[in-house]
Structures are given as structure tokens and as C-alpha cells.
Amino acid sequence: MKEVDARGLSCPEPMMLTEEAVKNEKGAIRVLVTEPHQRMNVEKCARDHGRKYTSTEIEDGFAVVIE
Amino acid sequence: MQEKIRLTQFARHGGCAAKIGPDTLSRVLGRLPKFSDPDLIVGFETSDDAAVYKITDDVAVIQTLDFFTPVVDDPYTFGQVAATNALSDVYAMGGEPKIALNIVCFPGDLDPDILGEILRGGADKVREAGAVLVGGHSIQDDVPKYGLSVAGIVHPDRVYKNFGCKKGDVLILTKQLGSGIVNTAVKAQMASAEAEQEVIRVMTTLNRKAKEAAADFTVHACTDVTGFGLLGHCSEMADASRAVIEIGVEGIAFMHGAKEYAEMGLIPGGAYRNQEHVSGLLDAGEVGEVYVDLLSDPQTSGGLLFAVPENEAADMLRAFARADLGTEVSVVGRVLDDSADRPCIRLRDKVEVI
């Protein structure tokens, strides 16, 4: 699974990386972010592209798996 | 040739999105001692835009300061935006800016010409406002910051407060919303040229004409919409006025691209902090989530929000049209009650107002 590790990055960098990954990768993508609002933005990006997603809390942030 | 400096790279949060969250602020400020003075017309208990102090029966002085980190890359434009935003607090109190002082933080290893451009942008806006710029204070800092402390004057009987709206009032906003979201999209290099031009034009438009055009009307309450977003500033107004405010989201003017970028997830963290802050007062009804995001978007150098009697609203809109503000004016909603046990903000798709 493709992974985008955006932990520790400040906005809008996680969104730039997520947008690029979602456009180029049709398979599953795991996006890692630090802040709760970044998780919500990644989820919005997934929805905007018509993709399903599941989010979980990890030790140092959140993991959003985009299908 | 030296690589062109992008000012926004220095800042984690740009413009009014850099503001400390309303929850944190109210917790900290609540611990400060209370000051009182019979001539203090507006103090900080009501979270208003500036302090107002009566000097004589005809003159009150307005004192405010505002500064922030770069919201745009171009130094001259950043200076314009920061100064326009700082001057706005005086207009939001119904006043006329008179004296401005620069507040500057700037890295010692950056080209001083960049600072020169920031200050030139600010000075041009102070001149456009009809005030004088007479110095300021600067320190070295890793992240550039710029703003103004502004003193203005107002007649003590014509001070606009951010509370006091009455049942039946119409809420009119003088600039389109979306600057936090569009600036985020610009920073992500996902914004259209049209959206970028519009956000800069809106952020550098003084609220002077809007304030002057409003002078002939009864203003029950007024504030400028900045870092807490429309919902945050409306919630302050609703709470302090014991009002129930109904907002019709489809009647609000938004910047080009703002809705699309919000749906893409290009939303500044401040918008989510603002949503948390208003959650106890908000009844979002059935409106789409994107509108909650747009209405909580922190605005940099936003417009004036007026609460005016229903029978004057149409004339006020015509006065704004005649004054050619250079921004989009919209009717955002109305006041349903002004003696509510539970003040709140209701979001609806449409509100029949005028």
C-alpha cells in the first residue's frame, strides 16, 4: 500500500501530498498526519475524489486509509 | 541572482488564521484583573474590536492594535493587507483612524529591502485611510510579523458596539467570505489566478467606504469579521445581545473557488478551532457541511457586519452599491429574538429577509 507520511508537516503540505497521491494512485493509500484538523482535511479530500476511507488514531497522530 | 523569497514560508499560520483560538483566549483573559473607568465606553469584557474612551462629550478616542505573520508572499502586498486589517478595527467601532504606529518583527538575516516594501505597503494604506504614520517599534525575530497600532476618534454617541442587535434586524456583510481557505489554496499552489487576485483585492480593500456609507443609518451592532470567522463573530454578537440569529447560507457571497477548495480539504486549522468554539451556540440544521466550514473560515482583513433595522436594510444596500465598495455585499441573515434565554445561531439554506 502506498504511504504518505505527512506527520510533523504544517498545512497545507499534508494536503498537497494527499491530493497528489489520490490523483496518481488508484489503489489504497495510507496517509499519516499529526493534527486532528489535518485528518479531517484528508478525509474531505478522499470524499471529494469519491473515495472511501477509514481513520484510526495512532501513537503520534492519525492514519487515514483511502481505498 | 538571489532566489525570490516567499514570505509565507516563514509562517505556520498566516494572517488572522494565526490568531490564538477563542477558547484559549477567553480562559487566559478571564484571569486578568477587571479595570473600570466611568469614561471607558468599550472595554474588553465584550470582546469588541478596540477600546473606546470618552475624552469630551463630543470626542472619544479609539485605540487598537493588530499584527500577524505573512499571509501572502509579496512584501508590499503583505504590508497593505496587515495595515488594512489593523485600520479596520477603528472602522468597526464607527470611527475615523488618525494616528498609526508600525509594529515590526523581522529576521536579521533577511534583505532589509523586503522590510522596506512591507512598510511601504502599510504606509500607503494609512495614507489612503487619511491617517498619519508616525513611527513604531521593531525587533528581530525568526518569523516576520507586521501590523499597526491605530488611534482613531468617534463621537461618543456614534460608537458601534459588537452587541445590541434587536429583533427584526437584518445582518449585512460588506465583503465576500473565504480568505482563509483561498489563501490556503494559494499556499498549496492549487488556487486559480482569478481566486488569488480576488482574495488580495478583498484583503487590501479598506472598510472606510463601508463605514462612511453606513453613517446615515441606524446601526444596532457592528463588528469586523476576522480570525474567528463569520460564525465566531456572530456568536459573540448573539451571546452579548441575547439574540437568536438566523443565517441563510445561500445568500452569502463567497470568493471564487472558496467552496471548491473547502470541499477539497484546503481548510485552515483555525476554522476547526472556530467550529469548536461556537458548537454550543450553533444549530446547523440541514445545511451542508461545506457551509459550516466556509462560515467558520478565519478571515484576514474581512468586511464589516452590520445589524440594522429591517426598514432601513434595503436603503443601506443601495447606499453600499452607490459607494462602490469594490467588494461583494450580502445579506447574511436576521435577528429573530433579542431576549433569548439561550442565544444561538441557526443556519438555514435560505432566509427571507428583504
Q: Which of A10, A13, A15 to mutate to test the interface with B (most CBs of B within 10 A)?
A: A15
pLDDT of res. B345? 95
Domain A2-66 class in CATH: alpha beta
Tell me the pLDDT of chain B averaged across its residues.
93
Using the structure block, give the residue that is written with the C-alpha cell 445589524: B307
What average pLDDT score do residues B214-238 get?
A: 95
The answer, yes or no, to whether residue B211 has pLDDT greater than 90, is yes
- pLDDT tens digits along B47-105: 666 889 999 999 999 999 999 999 999 999 999 999 999 999 999 999 999 999 999 99
Which of A41, A45, A51 would best serve as a mutation to test chain B binding (most B beta carbons within 10 A)?
Answer: A41
| Residue B49 assigned as binding residue | yes
Name B153's bridge partners.
B61, B96
pLDDT at residue A65 greater than cutoff 90: yes
pLDDT mean across residues, chain A: 94
On the question of pLDDT at B193 being above 80, the answer is yes
Is B16 catalytic? The answer is yes
Beta-strand relationship, B244-248 and B344-348: parallel
Cβ of residue B264 closer than 8 Å to a chain A Cβ: yes
Q: Mapping DSSP to helix (H, G, I), strand (E, B) and coil, where does residue B15 land?
A: helix
The minimal CB distance from A19 to the residues B264, B267, B273 is found for B264
pTM: 0.93
CA-derived radius of gyration, chain B: 19
**Was B337 annotated as part of a binding site?**
no
- Per the DSSP assignment, residues forming a β-bridge with B347 are B247
CA-to-CA separations, A30 to A45, A46, B235, in angstroms, rounded: 13, 11, 38
Neighbours of B26 (CB within 10 A): 11
The set of residues, in sequence order, having a beta carbon less than 8 Å from that of A50 and lying 6+ positions away, is none
Residue B254 to residues B127, B174, B195, B198: CA-CA distances in angstroms?
29, 11, 11, 11
pLDDT tens, residue by residue, B107-148: 999 999 999 999 999 999 999 999 999 999 999 999 999 999
Nearest to B188 among A16, A35, A48 (CB): A16
By CA distance, what is B184's nearest residue in A?
A12
Domains and CATH numbers, chain B: 7-158 (3.30.1330.10), 170-348 (3.90.650.10)
Q: Kindly tell me if the per-residue pLDDT of B1 is higher than 50.
A: no
Q: Does B267 touch chain A (CB under 8 A)?
A: yes
pLDDT of residue B23: 78
Task: Tell me the three state secondary structure of residue B51.
Answer: strand
> Which entry of B16, B222, B234, B344 is annotated as an active-site residue?
B16
Question: H or E element: which one contains B83?
Answer: helix B75-92
Interface confidence (ipTM) of the complex: 0.94
C-alpha cell recorded at residue B218:
441606524
Q: Do A44 and B12 touch (CB under 8 A)?
A: no
- Nearest Cβ partner of A15 from B265, B272, B273? B265
